[in-house]
Amino acid sequence: MIVLSREGDKAVLRPSGADIVSSLVPELRAQMRGIVEEGVRDLVVDLANVQMVDSSGIGLLISAHNSLHKLGGRLAVVHASKDILDLFHTMRIHQHFSVTGDGGED
Amino acid sequence: MKPSSRFACEMRTTLPATLEAIEEFFVEFRRQAQNTLSRADCFAAELLSREALTNAVVHGCHRDPRKHVICVLRLRGRRLTIAVHDEGEGFDWRAAWNRRGGIFESSGRGIQILRKFAIRVRYNEKGNAVTIVKLC
Amino acid sequence: MDQAPFDDELLDDYLLESCELLANIEPYLLAMEQDGAEIDERLVNRVFRAAHSIRGGAGFFDLVNIRELAHNIETALDLIRCRQMVPTADVVTILLRGFSKLRELIQNCRESGEPDIAELVATVAGLTEDHLPAGEKHLSMGRMEVAVPETRQRVDVSAFDLNQARRSGQCIYLMRYDLIHDIQRRGKTPWEVFKCLIQTGTIMETFLDLDSAGTLDGPPSNQLLLEVVYATAVEPEMIGRLGVASPQRVLLIEKNRPSADTVVRARP
């Protein structure tokens, strides 16, 4: 369900068919913490098959950004649906880390 | 004969206060909502309902499966009303709302979503019932 | 997307304050025109600070058009107060147009992203370009990245602001406020902090840092950090004691001595 691909200090997380919402956040948080501890500094979260992100999901992404930023790394979110992209813009998330949509465009 | 322009439907459910029950609810919600609302409205309706339900389960009932949360969604014309009521002691919505900077409190991110996506959000005095209105 | 017209109290505060700042701006500009080359420094400073405050707040709320226009107006006013440009009738006419459009954007704030103000911005920016010496013309639109000592952080600032700060011999600091603990819980607003800082220096940039969610390690922390890149003549020993709120952290980015020869190379 949460597919991870890894190459050196880069990793791509793909929560496929799952949503970044309260019930899934603890598992995702643990996984993100684990890979950051293992040395990943360039983390991409691929939302290609994610339909919903709620406030706890947003909080998780921000936490991940903060952790990575402190270590000189970065978080990027890609393939967000139009609805999720609009949500991120409304919550001003895009001012702080990169969020792009299905076409790779903002 | 012209079809009625008043489209009414209602979805009512009682859930044990667990996050898993919320997920099961939304599987059903998506099935029903996609026949009724536009994609963008489905998303917003689900988002608003999620925030209200998660709040009720986590802050209202402290994730106690013996407690219950009632959720009613009603669509009349363009007006979608989401009402969530929980069996908890209530939560301090005034502190979370915090007029003078509530958008900053991390626990208020959910409240911020409610404020931005709905046209009306009303809590009862005790804080264990909320009514959200959105225009579709 | 359906955005509800819900009151965002913080944004409303900013818009109201900005309207107040803009309410009496015309007489000041006309007085500046009357004074010509014999500028009244306090008057010019007042007009400068109005544009500067509006710019700072717009950056905070991501109001792109307001920010860009205010920044261009501010830059032109900075040239006037440094006596690099005389407020002639032509110059003041352009500034009046700029402020008038700014007022319009503030009043229609929710749509402020939409109107095409590129031409007006170019006209105002043209004032700056025309009055900068040849070696400095490239600065008016460029950005610069500056490293923050003792950290891995780099901040992105306007090349023009950086050059002005260096030339005036100002110190440049990175100040961090916890909006919740340092500001909101003391009954203050970010604007009160900005206004106070603006009395004694220039805010070059502001960044809102989302530490409010903490990191992946600890429990969610209840912080929201505002970082301000600030240029001022105030020395490092005194910097923590400015104004209505104490910053959580102050880092000295650069200490400068006044020099007319300092020119920086901007990124295109």
CATH number at residue A68: 3.30.750.24
CATH number, domain C9-131: 1.20.120.160
Cβ distance B17 to B56 under 8 Å? Answer: yes
Number of domains in chain B: 1
- The minimum CA-CA distance between A62 and chain B, rounded to whole Å, is 11
Structural domain containing residue B39: 8-135
Global model pTM greater than 0.80 = no
Using 70 as the pLDDT threshold, list the residues of chain C that sit under it. 1-10, 60, 62, 110-115, 138-141, 152, 180-181, 183-187, 208-213, 218-224, 244, 258-268
Asked whether the predicted pLDDT for residue A102 surpasses 70, the reply is yes
- The b/e string for A15-39 (b: 16+ C-beta within 10 A; e otherwise) is beebbbbbbbbeebbebbbebbeee
Chain C CB contacts of B103 under 8 Å are: 8, 10
Partners of chain C (3+ Cβ pairs below 8 A): A, B
Contact B115 C180 (CB under 8 A): no
Whether A53 is in a domain gets the answer: yes
Whether B96 is in a domain gets the answer: yes
Looking at the DSSP assignment, which residues form a beta bridge with residue A99? Answer: A77
Structural domain boundaries in chain C? 9-131, 140-254
Whether B29 is in a domain gets the answer: yes
Amino acid B122: pLDDT? 83
Whether A16 is in a domain gets the answer: yes
- If we measure between CA atoms, which residue out of C136, C131, C124 comes closest to residue C92? C124
Whether A106 is in a domain gets the answer: no
What's the complex ipTM? 0.89
CATH number at residue B40: 3.30.565.10
Whether B108 is in a domain gets the answer: yes
Contact A22 B19 (CB under 8 A): yes
Q: What is the residue type of C257?
A: R
Nearest CA in chain A to B23: A23
- The minimum CA-CA distance between C186 and chain B, rounded to whole Å, is 11
- If we measure between CA atoms, which residue out of B128, B5, B11 comes closest to residue B80? B11
Whether B113 is in a domain gets the answer: yes
Whether B3 is in a domain gets the answer: no
Whether B1 is in a domain gets the answer: no
Whether A61 is in a domain gets the answer: yes
- If we measure between CA atoms, which residue out of A2, A93, A76 comes closest to residue A40? A76
Q: Which residue has the higher pLDDT, A88 or C265?
A: A88
With an 8 Å Cβ cutoff, the interface of chain C facing chain A consists of: 1, 3, 62, 152, 208-217, 220
Structural domain containing residue A88: 2-101
Helices then strands, counting H and E runs in chain C, come out as 8, 6
Number of domains in chain A: 1
User: pLDDT tens digits, residue range C2-59?
Assistant: 233 333 566 777 888 899 999 889 999 999 999 999 999 999 999 998 999 898 888 7
Lowest-pLDDT choice from A22-26, B74-78, C189-193? C189-193
Tokens at A35, concatenated: 């890979």
Which regions of chain B does DSSP assign to beta strands (E)?
A: 8-16, 68-76, 79-86, 120-123, 129-135
Whether A73 is in a domain gets the answer: yes
